[in-house]
Structure formats: structure tokens, C-alpha cells
Amino acid sequence: MTYQNKSCVPSLRSFLFIITVIFAFFITHYIIPVRVPGSMIHPIKYKIITGTFAFVLDFSQIFESIIGIPYYKTLNTIVDSFDQIKIRSFDHGQVLYHDQYIEDVLVRIYTPSNMSKTFLSPVIIFFHGGGFFFGSIYSHDTMTYHMSMYSGAKVISVNYRLTPNVHYPIPIEDSVKVVRYVMDNYQEFSIDPKQVFLCGDSAGGNIAVVVERQIRHEQKSIIRGVILLYPLLQLVNFRLPSYLTNSPYNILSLLREDILTQVTNFYVNTSFAKNELFQNQHLSSDDYNYFYSKVNLPIANNDHLVEKSHPDTWKLFNENISPLLADDKILHNSPSTFIGACTYDVLLSDAQLYFERLQKLNIVDTSIENIAVRIVRLLNDHNNLPAIVYFYGGEFYMGSVDTYNALTSTLSRLANIVIFRSKILFSYRLAPEYPFPTGLEDCYTVAKYLLEYQDSKKLHIDPTQITLADDSAGGSLAAIITMHFTTQSVEYFKFLYYTSYHKLSVYLNETINKSQYNNNHTSVEQKRQYQPITDDHEGDPSLIEKAKKALNPEVSPLLVHDEQLDKLPSTHILSVGHDRLRDEAFIYEGRLKRAGVQVVHHHYENTFHGSITFLYGSLALDIAREMVQDIVEYIKENL
């Protein structure tokens, strides 16, 4: 070994020692202290990402104190630099991309490589997040690349100008210019002007909502849909539940109080202090009441309010700054909207409140022949559309349009995508106050009205494409009403039926003898309808006489005569294994098939009666979503 080589060894050791110390400092100071909220997936990755952002922020702020360059400029330089040096391991030529200017705004355009040059493609115009003050087409490049690759659509990513060099409305104006130009010159980009989607994450979601409204106001071509990814939709109330829950964790080291205060001040050109915003001390009681009146919620704790608003508070209520607070009239004309939100995010409440406002505007409570009806349909669509008439279950004595709102809204939303866009759910009168046949008559009245005397200006439905949907006791009502219409010359009456039912006691307003559960109340002829699971012995004559009401086909449609069955429309049956009604579904299926009726039967052996209603919340069941999807697929194939 030469002297020169020997002298290099201590230098290498010193270098490795310094690197080790820096790495150990980074791990102990930035990674280990990161608090992981709840049962977040990939907690180690989250710690690394959050710690890295914290390190970059600290470095940028130290650099600012020494050199004087604002930290957000250093932050943007660091984030954007990765676009130049990153190894595109995912880039196998599936997507072609290039940068260009549209109306003096830089954009990056992604085009699937297998797209035909003569094909007018859907387009997603994307607005990046970053609190309006950092981020770019470069920082979101991997995301937008894959968005184009997986969707098969063109993606145009917009590099709008950032705060604090500019303030509202400059980022909006840049974005509107791009969208307007693309829609006016769609042939230049080979895109379908009827398939334009706006998409944004975080602050970009805010821009996407506002831009859509401005384009709509200009009476340009309608935006096909808006895609919002954990959107920032209001800058008024910083004590919503998700802020209170997640602020202590400083999610990603970016969603912390000092940064979010700067987001507001930079974008709106205001002068709020951190404590003012995050204690709601910029709001007066009138401000607070106005906010909650807009989101249709009861007023929460207002202990932190002040007597007089901050001088800049009025700016935050601008519907183009806080689009969550727009009037119902503006929201009602919104296009189809997809909202993706995260549990561990201060912006979760923004997404939830916006979803709830849009969903409520989908619902109209009215009446048909003095019977309460709830209609759920696609916003901003006044065409005559196919309809579902839903008879809810509850053993004829419980249930309402409200208890089934989650299920019917989900069915309506999923069906909007595939074939039909209207759902009608109504409150028939319940036993024991209104025993048989009152509930049946209510249901028949509504169905008859929709088929024969519909007011197209009021309901906007297609009477030739009506489906009956039901569960449990509602299945009995749907089956009976469908049979009523087999004697009339009504075409295309569709019948959706899941979970059969054949008799009750409270509904009949009379006591049922327990011995009837041994089938001692049925004759040999009636038992044949239940073959092969019943015997061939004649029941007790006295019980048969007493049970005539329960065995009326208007109450037990399973007992209807064969000549009525063969006139029924296509039928879908859903049944479950752990259910007293299970066998009725299979018997009814067999009778329908023997009568030549087209039947689709989905049976879920390992779940229980009513499980389809557990779609959301802490008790949500995966099998419920599977059931709903099977129903939607059936409708898609048959309507």
C-alpha cells in the first residue's frame, strides 16, 4: 500500500462516520418521534415520509434564516428537482408525455401510446395539490402518468401560478383559461368534448370544483364529471371533527397549524394568526351560525367565538374560496362527482360535508296520491329515466324511507353509472295501526300511478322501464303487485325481487295458532306448493278454516296458482343461509322456473337476514356490498 492510499483511509472513515451520525440524527430526530394515528396501514412508510417532509421543511426554513430565500421556494425547488433525476422504473412506454403552454400556462399532457390518432379520447384535466403555495406538474408526475395509463384517457396537468407571489383568483383564472381553451379547441387535442373530467387533490380539488362552476356559468359544454381526492373545500371553520382529531398528529408534517395558517394567508391575502384560525377566534356568532346553516348541521360548541369578526373573515365565505358553502342552487346543477377521502386527514370533514350536501340535493320528498314518496335521482338530469320502486322490509310493522336511505341511495348511485337514474322509495302505512290490506293498497296505488298516470313534469321517469325492488316483507308486496299487473296490457314492467316472504301475523290483525308452524293449517293441495319439503297429510280442518286469511295469495304469494306465475316478468331473487325465509326463496324459484319465467337467484349461504342493509359504518359487511353489486349487474343485463 502506498503512502497516498494509506492517507485516504482515515478520510474515508471520517466521511462514513459523519454520514452515520447524520443518518442516526435523522432517524432519532425525525423518524422515531413521528406519531402514527390509529391503525394506519404501512406505519413505517408513513413515518419515513412524514419524517422526510419534516426534515425538508426544517432545512428550507433554516436556509431562509441564513440566506434569506423564502422556505417555500426552497421547498418547491427540492420537490421539483426529483422530476429531473428520478428513475422512471414504471415507464415502459405505455404513456407518451410532453410539456407545452396553453394560454401562457405550462401544462404536461399525457397520452396512452396505444390510443388511435383518429379516436376522440376522454380527457382528465388535473390540478395538483400543495396548499396553493407549492407543488407542480413535476411533483405529481408519477400520479398523473399512472392516471393516464390506467384510465386510458388523456391527462392534462396544469401548472397554475402559486402563492404568495400571486393570490386568489390568479390560480383559478390560470386553470379556467386552460379548461376553456381545451374545450374550445378539442380537435387540436383529439379529445371528446362530452367526456371532459376535472380532477384535483387537496387544494387542487378546491380548484376543480370552482373551475367547473365557472365553466358552467359561461354556458360552455357541460363538464362530464369532477374527481376530488381528499379535497380542501373551505377555509372558514378549523374546528371541524377531522381537524380536532388529526391536527395533533401533524399529518405528513405539512398539515399542521402553522402551515395551514400560511395556506389561508397566502391564498386569500389575509393576516390571520395561527391561534385565531385554529381556535375559531376569527368568527363571530353570526359567522358561525351562517356556516352551519350552509352545511345543514346543528351548531357545534361555540365557546371559542369572539364578539366581532376578524376584518378578513368575510373573504373566507366567498363561494369560490370555500366552495363547500355555495348555495343549494349552484350545487344542484353539479355534474357527477367522485370524492375520495382519508380517515387520517384534517380535510376529511370537508369531503364528508360536501358529499352529504350533494347527496341531500339528490333526494326529493314528495307525495303520490297522498302517499309519502322519496325520489333519488342524478343531479342536473331532467330526462324521463328508468325507475326503481322500492318496497322496504320490516315485517309490515316497522321501517321507513329513512331507515333504508343508505341502501337505496347506494343502489341509485351505482345504477346511475350503468343504466337507470331514478329511485322511488315510499312510506306505505304499517301494522298494527293499519292491518292488511292497507299497506298492500298503498303500494299498489303508487305502482299504478307510475305506470298509468305518471306526471312526467313532476317525476321525469320512463313508465316503460319500471323495476320493483324489495326486501323481506317488501318482497311479499312486490310479488303480489306484480301479479296484479299481469292481467293488464302493460309492457316492459320489470320485477326485481330479493329475499322472499310469505306470511305474517301482526299484518293480519289476528292471533296465529302456534300449531300452524307445524303446517297443521294447510291442506294437501296447498302443501304441494311446498314440495318436496312438506308431507302429504291433510291438516286440521278447524285450523284450515281459521287460517284462510293467512293463506290468501294476497298475503302469501307463494301460494298463487300456476296460471298467474307464467305471466310474471324476469325475476331476481336474493337469499341468505341463516334465515327462516331461506327455503321460501328456493321454492319460489322452482315454481317460477317450472312456469317458464326467467329467474336469477343469488344465494349467500354464510350470512344472515337483513345483512344487505349493513353497507356503511363500523358494522359494515363486505357481503352487503357484494349483494348490491349483484343486483346492479342484474339490472344492467335486464333493463
Residue 103 has pLDDT above 60, yes or no: yes
Distance (Å, whole) CA 636 – CA 639: 6
* Spatial CB neighbours of 605, under 8 Å, sequence gap ≥ 6: 576, 577
* Spatial CB neighbours of 43, under 8 Å, sequence gap ≥ 6: 36
Choice between 515 and 324, residue whose per-residue pLDDT is larger: 324
Ranges 105-119, 295-309, 580-594: which has the least confidence:
295-309
DSSP result, 221-270: SPP-EEEEES----SS-S-SHHHHHHGGGTBTTTBSHHHHHHHHHHHHT-
Whole-prediction pTM: 0.70
- The reported pLDDT for the residue numbered 7 is 56
| Cell numbers linked to 619 | 358494522
Alpha carbons within 13 angstroms on the beta-carbon side of residue 546 total 17
Residue 502 has pLDDT above 50, yes or no: no
Q: What is the mean pLDDT of the chain?
A: 80
- The reported pLDDT for the residue numbered 422 is 40
- The reported pLDDT for the residue numbered 506 is 37
Average pLDDT of 384-400? 62
**How far from 545 is each of 435, 504, 542, 548, 553, CA to CA, in Å?**
20, 17, 5, 6, 15
If pLDDT is split at 50, 70 and 90, which confidence band does 264 have? very high
Which residue, 82, 102, 160, is CA-closest to 128? 160
pLDDT in tens, 427-480: 555 545 656 667 777 777 887 887 776 565 567 777 777 777 766 654 566 676
Which residue, 252, 410, 264, is CA-closest to 344? 252
Which percentage of the chain shows pLDDT scores above 70? 74
Residue 215 has pLDDT above 60, yes or no: yes
Q: Are 401 and 480 in contact (CB under 8 A)?
A: no
Distance (Å, whole) CA 71 – CA 69: 6
Which of 156-165, 322-331, 447-456 is the most confident on average?
Answer: 156-165
Residue 102 has pLDDT above 90, yes or no: yes
- The reported pLDDT for the residue numbered 147 is 96
Q: What domains sit in the chain, N to C, each tagged with a CATH number?
A: 82-229 (3.40.50.1820), 241-359 (no CATH), 363-510+562-638 (3.40.50.1820), 511-548 (no CATH)
- The reported pLDDT for the residue numbered 311 is 95
